[in-house]
Amino acid sequence: DAGVTQSPTHLIKTRGQQVTLRCSPKSGHDTVSWYQQALGQGPQFIFQYYEEEERQRGNFPDRFSGHQFPNYSSELNVNALLLGDSALYLCASSLVNTGTGYTDTQYFGPGTRLTVL
């Protein structure tokens, strides 16, 4: 059973460029969440996608956008890159608990290391 996969593993961009990161959830999961982990810090929640819609969003600017496809995979897009966007971007997948409406345990992928020069 494949876990959460992310691509690419590493990426180097320059300021002002745009980037797209990809995530495939664990088999059977329907929800994808994205987190940004700056060096030496804990991950910060960017947003969560469920049923192809953004369900919840953290304190990130509109330059950060996403998409979820019918097969539950997801993309994270970042426009007008800044040096401060350099970080490890983590994708987590989970399954919505139909009783509570909340997601169950989130399982993380290996991450994409983005460097902005």
Partner 1 sequence: AQSVTQLDSHVSVSEGTPVLLRCNYSSSYSPSLFWYVQHPNKGLQLLLKYTSAATLVKGINGFEAEFKKSETSFHLTKPSAHMSDAAEYFCVVSGGGNKLVFGAGTILRVKS
Q: Which residues bind partner 1 (CB under 8 A)?
A: 4, 31, 33, 35, 41-45, 48, 55-56, 58, 90, 92, 102-103, 105-111
Nearest approach, Cβ of 62 to partner 1 (angstroms)?
A: 18
E strands of the chain, at which residues? 5-7, 10-13, 19-24, 31-37, 44-50, 53-57, 64-68, 74-78, 87-94, 107-108, 112-116
Nearest approach, Cβ of 65 to partner 1 (angstroms)?
A: 17
Nearest approach, Cβ of 16 to partner 1 (angstroms)?
A: 28
